[in-house]
Amino acid sequence: MNAHNWIDLSQDRSTGIETLRAHFKGHAYDPHWHDSYLVGFTEQGVQQFHCRRQKHASTPGQIFLLEPGDIHDGDAPTEEGFTYRMLYLEPHWIERELSQLFEDAPAQQVLAFAQNLTRDPRLSQAIADAFAALHSQELLIVRQSALDRLLEQLTGHLHWRKRHNPDPRLPLVALRARDYLQANVHQDVGLDELAQACNVDRFRLTRAFKAAFGLPPHAYLVQLRLAKARRQLANGDFPAQVASDLGFADQSHLGRWFVRAYGISPAAYRKRCSNLPD
């Protein structure tokens, strides 16, 4: 991270929700995805990112909404850079909480965002209030009240989607490859092995996978490992152990990928989210 960029990150222990306020100039982070719902807004400048095959430019007051698995990047197209606030909402938490609001929520469904970028002053204020309550570790009742207001405003931007009905536009070979990588995330999987598991040649495999998921297989595997690395670091595991557990060559190898994706080092992330000594 250069001298012009900074990140202020914290985690609420009772919900697991991470709160992040950050500023970037120039390139912010490479294409990556999270296993959380991302809800935030741009404070200052222009926040440019690609998601769902579209290029977005978020300006002050605009809200960005990303689902788990939404591949996105980030950069500042203007000299002044951009500042933003964001909440990482855990899927199990948001589904549990919303089920209390929707008693008739259909079974075997997941929550989805209709669009990645929107304007909604009430939702923007609710995000800001929830961020302030969590980030400053307010009283439990204050944090819970702020989150209830956030969910109340967020429901207008959510819709239900079938859980076990994959997009028919995704080639079967890409779905097979994805499932294989998820099942073997700790292994040193090569393209030959992956192509053999999918009964195709390497060229067809890579082309189908990138068309379906926006990343080639090797980059997708790295993202799977980085998502698990975040979990382990937040639980207090040391970067060297995490790197060894997840198949990175060493701690430096993990660190390079982690910074490119999240703009923060594994050690700094662990310190801010685990509340454990180094």
115-155 residue pLDDT tens: 999 999 999 999 999 999 999 989 888 999 999 899 889 88
pLDDT in tens, 185-215: 988 888 899 999 999 888 889 889 988 888 8
What is the pLDDT confidence band of residue 103, given thresholds at 50, 70 and 90? low
Percent of the chain at pLDDT > 90 equals: 56
pLDDT in tens, 169-186: 568 899 999 999 999 998
Give the pLDDT confidence score for residue 274 in this predicted structure. Answer: 67
Mean of the pLDDT values across residues 52-80?
A: 94
Mean of the pLDDT values across residues 28-39?
A: 92
- Kindly give, in sequence order, each residue whose CB lies less than 8 Å from that of residue 235, ignoring residues fewer than 6 positions away: 274
Mean of the pLDDT values across residues 59-69?
A: 94
Burial category of 130 from C-beta neighbours within 10 Å (exposed 0-12, middle 13-18, buried 19 and up): buried
Burial category of 104 from C-beta neighbours within 10 Å (exposed 0-12, middle 13-18, buried 19 and up): exposed
**d(C-alpha 187, C-alpha 108), whole Å:** 31
- DSSP H helices, 78-162, are 91-101, 121-135, 140-154
Paired tokens of 188 = 């040193």
Q: How far apart are the first and last CA of the chain?
A: 21
Q: Is 217 left (phi over 0), alpha (psi -120 to 50) or beta?
A: alpha
- DSSP H helices, 18-136, are 91-101, 121-135
Question: Quick check: 51 pLDDT over 70?
Answer: yes
Domain assignments of the chain as residue spans, ordered by start: 6-162, 172-274
- CATH architecture assigned to 6-162: Sandwich (2.60)
Question: Quick check: 275 pLDDT over 80?
Answer: no
The residues with which 16 forms a beta bridge, in sequence order, are none
| 6-162 matches 172-274 in fold | no
The superfamily in CATH containing domain 172-274 is Homeodomain-like (1.10.10.60)
pLDDT in tens, 215-262: 889 989 999 999 999 989 988 999 999 999 998 888 999 999 999 888
Give the pLDDT confidence score for residue 105 in this predicted structure. Answer: 63
CA distances from 155 to 79, 106, 128, 151, 191 (A): 36, 15, 16, 6, 42
Question: How high does pLDDT run on average in the chain?
Answer: 88
